[in-house]
Amino acid sequence: MKERLADDWLTRINERGYDVAFCQVLLSKGKRVLRAGHSPVEHGKDVIATSADLSDVWAYQLKTGDITLKDVQKLQGQMGMLVETRPMFPGLPPIFSYHPVLVTTGEFNEPAMSLIKELNESWRVRNLPALEVINGRALLADLLELSHDFWPVATPDVRTLRSLYLVEGKGDFDPKGFGELMMRLMQSSVAAKNVSRQAAAANLFASYLLGPFYENTDHWSVFRGWTICAAAIAWAGESSISDKSDWHEPFLLAREAAQTALASLANEADDENNFRAGAMELDDYTRVRNTTVMAAVAASVLIANSSGKKNDTDVTLARIKSFAAQGRFIYWGEGAFSQHLVLFWFLKCASEDGAAKDFLLNTIQLVTDRQQRDSTNPLPNPYQSPDDCLTKLLSETEEPTMKSAVESGNLYPLIILCARHQLRSELTALWPKITNVFMSWLLVEKPIDVLQWDCDTGTEHSQQFGEQSWADLIGAANHENRDRLPSILWDDPAFAIMFMLTFQHRMLTSLVKRLDDVLLPRAK
Amino acid sequence: MKEMWSAAFFQGMHGDPLFAGLPVRVQKEGNRARIGGSEMNYINISAGGSLPARIAEGQSVAEFYDSAESMGKQMGEQQAKHLFEKMSEPSIVAQTINITEETTFDDLLALWDKMEVRFIKGMPHWPSIISNQRGLDIVRSLIECAQEDPASREKWRLLIEKKQKEFNEREARRRLVD
């Protein structure tokens, strides 16, 4: 099965879809990856890697499918740039041995190889390096070698792997199944003390399983998949006694792939036509897409801001305000709150305090209205996906066999956020209703465990507010809960934003406070 | 098939109208729960059944659903047993009383006095009474007689006033203070 799956994946994948897997192969060969990604300034170099001592530098151009003579002729400009322009990258020494490489997932036919040999000869005469090639067969062998110990053998995992791979690739990503498979893969690495190799395998499996979503440019699913993979690697790394260097590079590869997918989704939002509803699309689905895409755009901006880059946000701001005014966003359940929270932070960063306040208060008002103890129409819990929620909403009403207790998984962090933003009079007005909502949250013994999609151990707390001192609330709101967050979420706010968007059921109070601190430093 | 079997199983488990009306809190993650600061004591319950393994003959539709429902009922009965055990521990939300021919209206008032009473639009919502038919008949008769008896009506009115005051105090505490 493994050869067939990897081969099938390699045949179907597009250039961007095998970046991470390819980089992982390079890491396994002792190279260091300096940059991976497709951008207008890449000059034919999709991936740049070095030897450990920086004496050798490789630049790779990634292609897909078979390369014919005609393709080489067409690619000559890019190949020329790849060979003739030496990479410039902070930290590279002035002198190094340079190796340009053309990679494809298919084969180079004879005439194509013949032309490449002739081009190499002319480059040699000009004292330029020769272009090396890597074909699909070599790539496949490397991929299989890298992961052969780690293929799932237990029936449930094999079945999960198969069902996750055999998807259409358009919105049918199963984050829970994917997260559980990633965790099982990484759990065994902690026991076997081989986090480094298993993290590499996790990246390969994630590449395979996200292939159908790359094919269909379903950036949202690709984004979530890589975030879950990165979280699983970080979980294993921080749970084991491994050195950070054992797992940090694979983690960064997955994290960067997630960020790239988020940026791709944000780029799509530049064109208003991409918000046009497809044929036969219910408005609620369109509003889910609006909410998700605009949260992705807002997250991209916040991530850029957190790394010191400033983006032009006028178009985004205007669109968010217009969508909000026209009711083009939706709360499908408590799972939507993390997206609305990102929109809140975006508006605050854009100094749109009034609009931001409305976002926050609308959310908290909705919870206090719908999650009352006796509510007959509660919001779906944060674990439910938009698809689950809308399907239920549109299905024929069936009398449930069991009456579920009504709770809110996200009310407490929202109250804490209101306190941080000094919304005392608004909270006072809502307080009698707030006290009639059971708030629930998961408390884990080891903070790192929150990186799991589904946590086996830990205590679910369910509690109600009664009479409450504002001073105590402010104290709780400003108290730093560093000990409650894994360091990967504390130290890397950009990943923390991606984590909160992906793990919609992990709107942790400690995480919300940390992001509020980082994104709005003067909010305290 | 599994889904249909599960649906029939839960139908059996929550089939009793009393239990169907009680909200169930489903644990989503972790292995422990604390409700309002108290540790939730999870108790394992199980049910069993046997199915005929006939040669060249599977289960009939009736056997299929009956097996599921029957096991669900067994689970429901065990759940009920534990629930009644819990309810027999006196608290502000549950009290037990042995209803006999000797039970008086004052006994009922004393029982309610120990419990929390909610008021909706100014009207008291007395705690539900769970009993067999005989017990319910006795309670109904005690209430009917009390309504005819000025002394009992006055005692009841005083209890309502007391409970309303307690309720108002509880409601007044649902606030944000300095």
Contacts of B89 (CB under 8 A, 6+ apart): none
Structural domain ending residue among the three candidates B61, B87, B113: B87
Beta bridge partners of A32: A50
Query: In sequence order, what E strands does A399-511 have?
Result: 439-443, 459-463, 468-469
Whether residue A129 is contained in a domain is answered as yes
For residue range A47-79, what is the model confidence (pLDDT) as tens digits?
999 999 999 999 999 999 999 999 999 999 999
Rounded Cα distance between A288 and A272, Å, is 16
The two three-digit tokens of residue B26, written as one number: 């489903």
Rounded Cα distance between A465 and A407, Å, is 13
- By the 8 A CB rule, do A503 and A337 touch? no
* Chain B partners within 8 Å of A402 (Cβ): 10, 14, 20, 24
Is the confidence at residue A395, as pLDDT, over 80? no
Whether residue B100 is contained in a domain is answered as no
Whether residue B177 is contained in a domain is answered as no
Instruction: Give the one of A403, A424, A444 whose C-beta lies nearest to B23's C-beta.
Output: A403
Is the confidence at residue A166, as pLDDT, over 60? yes
Residues B75 and B128 in one domain: no
User: A40 to each of A36, A44, A154, B61, how far by Cα in Å?
Assistant: 13, 9, 44, 65
Residues B80 and B136 in one domain: no
Residues B83 and B117 in one domain: no
Contact A404 B174 (CB under 8 A): no
Contact A404 B27 (CB under 8 A): no
Q: What 8-state DSSP symbol labels residue A403? A: P
CATH number, domain containing residue A70: 3.40.1350.10
Residues A238 and A358 in one domain: no
B169 to chain A: closest CA residue = A467
- Mutation to test the B interface, candidates A404, A440, A459, most B Cβ within 10 Å: A459
The two three-digit tokens of residue A407, written as one number: 């709770």
How distant is the alpha carbon of residue A83 from its chain centre? 33
CB atoms within 10 A of CB A492: 19
Rounded Cα distance between A467 and A463, Å, is 13
Residues A117 and A169 in one domain: no
Structural domain ending residue among the three candidates A114, A148, A182: A148
Is the confidence at residue A28, as pLDDT, over 90? no
Residues B22 and B82 in one domain: yes
Whether residue A154 is contained in a domain is answered as yes
For residue range B122-134, what is the model confidence (pLDDT) as tens digits?
899 988 888 889 9
Residue-range definition of the domain harbouring residue B141: 105-172
How distant is the alpha carbon of residue A333 from its chain centre? 21
Mean pLDDT of A306-317: 80
Relative orientation angle of helices B61-87 and B2-13, to the nearest 10 degrees = 40
- The region of weakest confidence among A97-106, A122-131, A181-190, A375-384 is A181-190
Residues A446 and A317 in one domain: yes
pLDDT at A45: 85
Q: What value of ipTM does the predicted structure carry?
A: 0.82
Query: Which DSSP string do the residues of A183-251 spell out, in sequence order?
Result: HHHHHHHHHHT-HHHHHHHHHHHHHHHHHHHHHTT-HHHHHHHHHHHHHHHHHHHHHSS--HHHHHHHH
Beta bridge partners of A311: none
Beta A439-443 vs A459-463: how paired, if at all? antiparallel
Rounded Cα distance between A407 and B25, Å, is 9
Residues A289 and A401 in one domain: yes
**Full-model pTM:** 0.89
Instruction: Give the one of A431, A458, A471 whose C-beta lies nearest to B178's C-beta.
Output: A471
B27 to chain A: closest CA residue = A460
- By the 8 A CB rule, do A180 and A232 touch? no
CA distance, residue A164 to nearest chain B CA (Å): 21
Relative orientation angle of helices A155-165 and A175-192, to the nearest 10 degrees = 140
Residue-range definition of the domain harbouring residue A178: 149-268
pLDDT at A523: 46
Looking at the 3D structure of chain A, how many domains does it have? 3
Write the burial class of residue A212 (CB in 10 Å: 0-12 exposed, 13-18 middle, 19+ buried): buried
Instruction: Give the one of B11, B23, B29 whose C-beta lies nearest to A404's C-beta.
Output: B23
Residue type, A231: A
User: B52 to each of A145, B3, B55, how far by Cα in Å?
Assistant: 50, 21, 9
Residues A497 and A455 in one domain: yes
Instruction: Give the one of A424, A456, A468 whose C-beta lies nearest to B31's C-beta.
Output: A456
CB atoms within 10 A of CB A25: 23
Q: Which residues of B touch A (CB under 8 A)?
A: 7, 10-11, 13-14, 20-37, 171, 173-178
Is the confidence at residue A149, as pLDDT, over 70? no
Mean pLDDT of B64-83: 91
Contact B33 A435 (CB under 8 A): no
Structural domain ending residue among the three candidates B56, B87, B118: B87
Is the confidence at residue A524, as pLDDT, over 60? no
Residues A118 and A161 in one domain: no
Residues B83 and B14 in one domain: yes
Whether residue B132 is contained in a domain is answered as yes
Residues A441 and A307 in one domain: yes
Q: A426 by DSSP, 3-state: which?
A: helix
- Mutation to test the B interface, candidates A180, A460, A504, most B Cβ within 10 Å: A460
B171 to chain A: closest CA residue = A432
Mean pLDDT of A116-123: 94
Contact B33 A428 (CB under 8 A): no
Side-chain-side CA neighbours of residue A278 (13 Å)? 3
Structural domain ending residue among the three candidates B87, B115, B138: B87
Mean pLDDT of A328-333: 94
Whether residue A524 is contained in a domain is answered as no
* Chain B partners within 8 Å of A435 (Cβ): 174
Mean pLDDT of A330-358: 95
Residues B83 and B118 in one domain: no
Residues B82 and B24 in one domain: yes
Looking at the 3D structure of chain B, how many domains does it have? 2
Residues A347 and A490 in one domain: yes
Residues A343 and A410 in one domain: yes
Residues B120 and B156 in one domain: yes
B25 to chain A: closest CA residue = A405
- A274-286 burial, b at 16+ Cβ within 10 Å, e below that, comes to ebeeeeeeeeebb
Instruction: Give the one of B21, B24, B37 whose C-beta lies nearest to A404's C-beta.
Output: B24
- By the 8 A CB rule, do A368 and A434 touch? yes
Mean pLDDT of A191-196: 72
- Helix (H) or strand (E) run with residue A36 in it: strand A32-36
Residues A280 and A199 in one domain: no
Is the confidence at residue A241, as pLDDT, over 80? no
Q: What 8-state DSSP symbol labels residue A443? A: E
CB atoms within 10 A of CB B6: 13
- The region of weakest confidence among A415-419, A427-431, B11-15, B151-155 is B11-15
Query: Among residues B160, B161, B24, B99, which one has the least CA distance to residue A407?
Result: B24
Contact B32 A468 (CB under 8 A): no
Angle CA(A279)–CA(A283)–CA(A288) in degrees, nearest 5?
Answer: 110
Mean pLDDT of A105-118: 94
Is the confidence at residue A444, as pLDDT, over 50? yes
CA distance, residue B167 to nearest chain A CA (Å): 13
Rounded Cα distance between A502 and A335, Å, is 10
CB atoms within 10 A of CB A333: 24
Residues B165 and B130 in one domain: yes
Identity of the highest mean pLDDT range in A106-120, A135-149, A380-394: A106-120
Structural domain ending residue among the three candidates A230, A252, A268: A268
Structural domain ending residue among the three candidates A268, A290, A312: A268
Is the confidence at residue A40, as pLDDT, over 90? no
Residues A461 and A332 in one domain: yes
Instruction: Give the one of B7, B30, B175 whose C-beta lies nearest to A431's C-beta.
Output: B175
Q: How confident is the model at residue A38 (pLDDT cuts 50, 70, 90)?
A: low
pLDDT at A418: 97
Contact B7 A455 (CB under 8 A): no
Is the confidence at residue A317, as pLDDT, over 80? yes
Rounded Cα distance between A466 and A463, Å, is 10
Residues A260 and A285 in one domain: no
Quick one: what percent of chain B has pLDDT higher than 70? 100
Residues B83 and B147 in one domain: no
Query: Among residues A35, A68, A29, A67, which one has the least CA distance to residue A49?
Result: A35
pLDDT at A56: 95
Mean pLDDT of A474-483: 92
* Chain A partners within 8 Å of B27 (Cβ): 460
Distance separating the N- and C-terminal Cα atoms of chain A: 55
Query: Which DSSP string do the residues of A98-119 spell out, in sequence order?
Result: EEEEEEESS-B-HHHHHHHHHH
Whether residue B95 is contained in a domain is answered as no
pLDDT at B19: 77
Average confidence score pLDDT of chain A: 90
Beta bridge partners of B54: B57
Q: How confident is the model at residue A39 (pLDDT cuts 50, 70, 90)?
A: low
Is the confidence at residue A312, as pLDDT, over 80? no
